[in-house]
Amino acid sequence: MITLNVPDMSCAHCSGVITKALRALDPVAVIGFEMHNHQVQVDTTHNAAAVINVMAAAGYPATLA
């Protein structure tokens, strides 16, 4: 499980864009959101660097929590 801080995430639209980007990387990833903490949890077979790169490309820079 990868937990990321995503300071620019604030609404359902944000989570939708993030979900779409992460599903393109891994269609079976399990994705969870903690909007109040600006965090995303991703259970995927890909490494954290790949997930962070996809998030940045989608316009949501992230760092490991």
| Model confidence pLDDT, tens digit, residues 42-65 | 999 999 999 999 999 999 999 999
Q: How confident is the model at residue 2 (pLDDT cuts 50, 70, 90)?
A: very high
CB-based contact 38:5 (threshold 8 Å):
yes
Supply the pLDDT for residue 45: 95
DSSP 64: E
Structure tokens given for 42: 């991703």
Average pLDDT on 24-37 reads 95
Supply the pLDDT for residue 54: 96
Domains and CATH numbers, the chain: 2-64 (3.30.70.100)
The pTM assigned to this predicted structure is 0.90
DSSP 4: E
Supply the pLDDT for residue 11: 92
